[in-house]
Amino acid sequence: MARSKPVIRVLRHLARTGGTLVTKCLGSMDRVVVLSELHPKNLSVTAPMAQAVEWFGLVDKKQLSAWGARKGPTFLQFVAACESSASRRKDALVLRDWSHLDYYGLPYVTEPGMGSDLIAEVEGAYEVRVACTTRHPVDQYLSLRMVRVIGEIDFDLFIRGNLAFAEYAREHGFVRYEDFTREPDEKLREICAMLDVEFDPGYADRWWSYEHVTGDVKRGNSRGVRENAIRPLERKPVDEDVLAMFRADDRYARICAILGYER
């Protein structure tokens, strides 16, 4: 039976949860194009239109100029142009959702909706395939604090956003980052199955040199992006007061139960 709508694929994860590594692996596969960190409420910070033109040739400069003259396309028009171009080339287009804006927001969105604005924009026109990746909330919190994002996000917003994302991931399917680092081939196959993308084992030889991704700051504070091998990373030391703060909040227990993490 023929599909009534074209397929659009959406990869979702929160900030500092290993999403850049997963995106590098997925994007380095043959016949896969990943636009990084898209969100209808902000098309400037991560420059997805420039990605589409300069990295992937999904949109030409003439079209970009025409959009500029009309104060830009709608989000759906932009996605449709990219999907149509990718489809003609027989490439699978994946939208890496900038889920940070949906669950934490700051500093770009003051009241996150705790859902997916991207999917809400495209689901009327497309058959949506979704894959989520997650990370233990304590490790994510430590990483966010290391890059000083947590200074803008108080603990209540952090844990509230985490719980909402965990519930979404449970409903739509997820792969844990920790499992991905232990068994990258197997877990990437699972992500590909969720997204309806053909798995390409050749990614293993290409992911490290793949650069068409946002968030890949090799000289930054992330241990993951400095590695040239996919392997588990040991947890950084955790202050007892941080652990106590988590363990005193019932939402933390619910997140761990949903995602299968130890408290």
* pLDDT tens per residue, range 121-149: 999 999 999 999 999 999 999 988 887 77
For residue 217, name the pLDDT band (cuts at 50, 70, 90). Answer: low
**How far apart are alpha carbons 202 and 221 in whole angstroms?**
28
Average pLDDT over residues 71-98: 94
**CB-based contacts of 149-158 (< 8 A; 24+ apart in sequence):** 149/15, 149/16, 152/106, 152/107, 153/104, 153/106, 155/245, 155/249, 157/104, 157/106, 158/104
Residue 185: band (very low, low, confident or very high) from pLDDT cuts 50, 70, 90: very high
Least confident of 64-68, 77-81, 105-109, 238-242: 64-68
Residue 218 has pLDDT above 70, yes or no: no
Cis peptide before 107 (omega within 30 of 0): yes
N residues, the chain: 263
Buried b (16+ CB within 10 A) or exposed e, 28-37: bbeebbbbbb
pLDDT at residue 220 is higher than 50 = no
Of 166-170, 237-241, 248-252, 254-258, the one with minimum mean pLDDT is: 237-241
- Average pLDDT of the chain, as a whole number: 92
In angstroms, what CA-CA distances link 66 with 18, 47, 115, 140, 208? 36, 17, 32, 41, 36
Q: What is the mean pLDDT of residues 178-182?
A: 97
Residue 3 has pLDDT above 70, yes or no: no
pLDDT tier for residue 2 given thresholds of 50, 70 and 90: low
Q: What is the pTM of this model?
A: 0.93
| Per-residue pLDDT, 181 | 97
Residue 71's pLDDT band (cuts 50, 70, 90): confident
Residue 222 has pLDDT above 80, yes or no: no
The residue among 153 and 246 whose pLDDT is bigger is: 246
**Dist CA 155 CA 145 (whole Å):** 11
pLDDT exceeds 80 at position 32: yes
- Mean pLDDT over 191-203 rounds to 98
Per residue in 146-165, pLDDT (tens digit) is 877 767 889 999 999 999 99
How many angstroms separate the CA atoms of 228 and 224, rounded? 9
Tell me the CA distances in angstroms from 116 to 87, 100, 103, 132, 184, one per residue in order.
24, 10, 9, 12, 26
- Domain 7-135+173-233 -> CATH class: alpha beta
Q: How far is CA 8 from CA 32, 63, 128, 214, 247, in A?
A: 12, 21, 5, 20, 39
